[in-house]
Structure 1
Amino acid sequence: MVRNLTPLIQLPPRAVWGIGGATRYATAADWVGAGPDAETDGERIVLRYLAAFGPASISDVQTWAGRTRLRPVLDTLRPRLAVFRDEHGVELFDLPEAPRPDADTYAPVRFLPEYDNLLASHADRTRVISEEARKRVMTSNGMRATLLVDGEVAGTWKLHPGRDSTVLEIDPFRPLTAVQRAEVEAEGGRLLEFAAPGATHHVRDRDTPASRLTG
């Protein structure tokens, strides 16, 4: 009941990498030194969201925030925002100083954790994950860890730690080019260095033999 009715902060660290721990909370007022301000809270939410995920529509913001009736907030902020329209005529808002790469800009390979905000922060999620891929990623308990290739979900991944070695298993949803596969292995190597420093590392495609990466 308290978690649903009181603004709370989940205190860090909940746990360390690979080891679970009990969740501890503090009230938002104690953690940040002030309670929510009804007049400015909506503006802060919108600006924080746009800093991470703009350009975005009103529906996008409301989907992420789990709130409705944010249109008046965006109308108040409109003079401070950059405003665009997408190919369907939907208004998109962004921070004026935010980077907006050209649509043809190649996005590097990235490994996202389970239930990453990127995949749950838009009303139209097909910009980063197709409907077919979404069905393969979603589980009864949440969302699998995903692999991004050129900014779109192209598969899932999972770590298999052992006593002396750690395997990163990748399940691609589509064939990867030789260049893409090399980039996935390079980024996977960096993930393994973070997750299991000092161990022998392998990146393994579920459909191909393991390829050794030096650790």
Structure 2
Amino acid sequence: MTVLDTRTLNRATLARQSLLDRTGMPVAGAVAHLCGLQAQEPQEPFVGLWSRLRAFDPADLSDLLTGRRVVRTHLMRRTVHLVTAEDALAWRARHDPMLRQRVLAVYRRELAGVDLDELAAAGRAVTADGEPRTMAELARAVAERWPAPGPRALGEMLVAALVPMVQIPPRGLWRTRAGVRNVPLPIWLGRDIDPPSPDGSDPVGRALVRRYLAAFGPATSADLRAWCGLAGLPAAIAAMREELVSFRDERGRELLDLPDAPRPDPGTPAPVRFLPAFDNAILGYQHRGRIIDDAHRGLSVTGARMVLVDGRVAATWTVDAGTVAVTPLRRLSRADRADITDEGRSLASFLSDNESDRVQIA
């Protein structure tokens, strides 16, 4: 079986994430191809798309949110993701058990003795009018019946697991600060969530495997699970084995892939790219060594924004008063610094509406 080394996997990831070459696909198409963007920090998806799309206009993403073609909702890994309306409706039921389990794992003591089906029914009754509500308001609405768990446990279980919700605009719009207000997903989109397959064949699971590999492959089954949080995908993989090709990584782990997906030559040059906080190009794997060194892996879950140099995390970045400040994680060559400065100037201009192109490298 062919072995793919770390650099080959790195270039495949960059190509599929549109980080090797920016793509001209429309914003909605990019969100769909990427299987959504992690979005608990509302402004971060704009940087993620800017780094991947040619001539990205942030107003296009804002328009998709207000036009209800993309939504902000709890999905993969119980984190807030920005996904297309179609994917939210198709994927939500498949994620329901995982969402319940993950919230319950945090609040098992507080929610002991609470019938979650009854709590879900109460939540649906409260939200049936479609009025936007905060998590605290939802918790208060059911607290008389379930006073013991407390508002945090009740609110998170309702919003993140039991009642499929979207975080409605102006939350998530470009350069807009707004609190979270929730509306049920079917009401917001005017369409019902796709039900689970009645015959147990799991077409959604198979679709998730294909979509993940198209955007993140080649990858292990453990990588797939780390990305979506779902435990029940081995059967889907087994059912579609004939559609896939297999490789090995340098540690002997099996890598799955789509036959015709891009796997560029490992010598392909990789430009400097600025990634937002919690970007799935890093978080979408259990084995993240293809893009970040083990010594810096912890940064990926702290909200640090990363700079890729030659396809790998080499620095972090922040922005303050229009200046993009870069902190190297290793020694950078003069050429690396020049490339970071060039790309950083473009990012500063994007973030400041062309009022600044200042970059500082520590």
Which residue is equivalent to 2:277?
114
Larger deviation: 27-36 or 83-92?
27-36
Query: Structure 1 residue 35 and structure 2 residue 191: aligned?
Result: no
> Which digits, 9 at most, give the CA deviation of each residue in 1:4-44, with x for residues without a partner?
23444444662333432233445455536542434222112
Which residue is equivalent to 1:134?
297
> Which digits, 9 at most, give the CA deviation of each residue in 1:31-58, with x for residues without a partner?
3654243422211222221121000000
Change (3 A) 1:170 1:96: same
Q: CA deviation at 1:138?
A: 5.0
- 1:5-154 superposed matches below 5 A: 5-11=162-168, 14-29=171-186, 31=189, 33-38=192-197, 39-135=202-298, 137=299, 142-154=302-314
Q: CA deviation at 1:117?
A: 0.9
Which amino acid in structure 2 is aligned with residue 35 of structure 1? D
Larger deviation: 54-63 or 181-190?
181-190
Contact 2:344 2:357 in 1 (8 A): no
Q: Give 3-state SS (helix, strand or coil) of 1:143's partner.
A: coil
Contact 1:29 1:35 in 2 (8 A): no
Q: CA deviation at 1:143?
A: 2.0
Q: CA deviation at 1:159?
A: 0.6
Q: CA deviation at 1:178?
A: 1.6
Q: CA deviation at 1:186?
A: 1.2
Contact 1:148 1:154 in 2 (8 A): yes
TM-score normalised over the length of structure 1: 0.82
TM-score normalised over the length of structure 2: 0.51
Contact 1:128 1:151 in 2 (8 A): yes
Q: CA deviation at 1:120?
A: 1.1
Q: CA deviation at 1:155?
A: 1.0
Q: Identify the match of residue 195 of structure 1 among 339, 351, 360.
A: 351
Structure 1 Cα separation of the partners of residues 208 and 167 of structure 2: 18
Structure 2 residues not aligned, in runs of 5+: 1-156
Q: Give 3-state SS (helix, strand or coil) of 1:168's partner.
A: strand
Which amino acid in structure 2 is aligned with residue 23 of structure 1? V
Q: How many residues align?
A: 199
Higher strand share: 1
Structure 1 residues not aligned, in runs of 5+: 207-215
Q: CA deviation at 1:99?
A: 1.0
RMSD: 2.1
Change (3 A) 1:13 1:40: farther
Identity of aligned residues (%): 37
Q: Give 3-state SS (helix, strand or coil) of 2:227's partner.
A: helix
Relative contact order (C-alpha < 8 Å, sep 6+): which is higher?
A: 2
Contact 1:28 1:35 in 2 (8 A): no
> Which digits, 9 at most, give the CA deviation of each residue in 1:99-150, with x for residues without a partner?
1112222221110101111121111111111121123x256xx321111111
Contact 1:64 1:122 in 2 (8 A): yes
Change (3 A) 1:76 1:12: farther
Larger deviation: 143-152 or 193-202?
193-202
> Which digits, 9 at most, give the CA deviation of each residue in 1:138-172, with x for residues without a partner?
56xx32111111111111000112xxxx1100001
